[in-house]
Amino acid sequence: MITESKLLAYLSGVVVAMSLVVTSANAQCVFSPALTTQTECLTAIHIPGNPLRSFDISFVNPKRAEFYFADRSNYAIQVIDTEGLKWKRPLGGFVGIKFNPNRTINNNISGPDGVASHGRWVYGGDGDSTLKVFDLEAPPTDALKQVIPTGGTTRVDEMALTSNGKLLIAANNAEDPPFATLFEANGNRAESHVSIISRIIADNAIVPKGFGLSLEQPTWDPGTKRFYTSIPVIANNPTGCNYGQLSGPITCDGGVLVVDPKAITTPSVTLGAFDPTTKVGVIKLHACGPNGATTGPNDNILFGCTPQNNPSNKITLVMNAVSRIQTPIANITGSDEVWFNSGDNRYYTGSNRDCGLAGGCPHGGAVLGVIDAETNLLIEKVPQSSNSHSVAADSKRNLIFVPQVAPATVVGTGGDVTSNGAGICGGNNGCVAVYKHDVDDDDDGEDHDHHHR
């Protein structure tokens, strides 16, 4: 049921633009003008150690009431209690921030990067092309149980688990050509026995080698029992487009790599164009070069399109995994991680390039996008710190977690160049902002688990 407040949001254009200011050193969630969105800023959680300069993907395990995010600034996956809303501990041993010769951050070899969790296990991708496996029930000094090389030289990035936690797929996005690794994961086992099943690549005619093309966020759809992995740019989409083989801006749109894990029987697999019989391969997306992917209701998959991949991308996209019908969502773009929260039937987007590339938006234009998963309509946008590209939600508590970088005046390149993060965090070290959405009884009457695993 669409509530009156939702309808009014749609009719009013659903775009909320606000600036944030800090009124005191201890204030948190300070907005000027006052925040009037349905998604309310509740508090900010501070992380011990170095100010937050670089981080990557987030994940929530609602059954454990824990939020995990890849904190490169402190060489760890940070664990936050989503009931008590407090920092708990780090899962360490990662390579941290690595720099280019000009002292800008080299994301391709920094870590941690991708994060996923099921039961007692947390999986983290590192900048040295390894998957690290942590046991949350073990003593902190003995939590790291396995370090598994994937055979590349750059980071293990975004990843997804099957609903039972027994299979994991992770993308080495910065390899050339990029590849995904399918793992046997731990499920609910008490001991760690993670192993590689296969390396998966897209055919060279679709993702040509030598042009820096990549794979990004995967998601698992329990309805079709397949992994769907975002591909930011593919060749010949449309025919004759520029994927990097020509001078000038990229004009090719992206695609999605569909993998049936039960059909993987060899150590290496190459997939071509989508085969409607086997229902695997690469599907072309329209007007979308995606980074993020998350599975919503009714086998719908939301893709976080971004002008970082194709400057003409100005939408977010939903594709039905069964019919493969694509539905554009206007007025929101530039997303990296995206997340479906089944607790309130909404998608949340980490849209750090919402107003386009840097030249068109000097202050970054980072927002938390909120989309109704029933209607595929944008509800609202909440301003965030620069480079705020990571988001995850606790479906049992309807809390949304968004890491914020510290100001550039504190951490240098990669830091916040607006006043937004300091206003949200109430300080200059960065934080994890916590947002709350109160759900009407007729919208949701029971606890749920999300499908982004």
User: The domain that contains 175 carries what CATH number?
Assistant: 2.130.10.10
Rounded Cα–Cα distance for residues 149 and 147 (Å): 7
pLDDT at 145: 98
In a domain? residue 296: yes
In a domain? residue 123: yes
Q: What is the CB-side half-sphere exposure of residue 191 using CA atoms within 13 A?
A: 1
In a domain? residue 26: yes
Number of domain units in the chain: 1
- Please give the residue range of the domain that contains residue 17: 4-436
User: Sheet of 195-202: strands edge to edge?
Assistant: 159-161, 167-172, 179-184, 195-202, 268-271
Q: How many residues does the chain have?
A: 453
CB-CB contact of 250 with 232 (8 Å): no
In a domain? residue 447: no
pLDDT at 32: 65
Identity at 62, one-letter amino acid code = P
pLDDT at 316: 98
CA trace torsion 217, 222, 223, 227 (10° rounding): 30
In a domain? residue 451: no
pLDDT < 70 stretches in the chain: 1-26, 32-33, 356-364, 440-453
pLDDT at 26: 54
CB-CB contact of 289 with 233 (8 Å): yes
pLDDT at 2: 41
Q: pLDDT tens digit string along 85-121?
A: 999 999 999 999 999 999 999 999 999 999 999 999 9
pLDDT at 453: 36
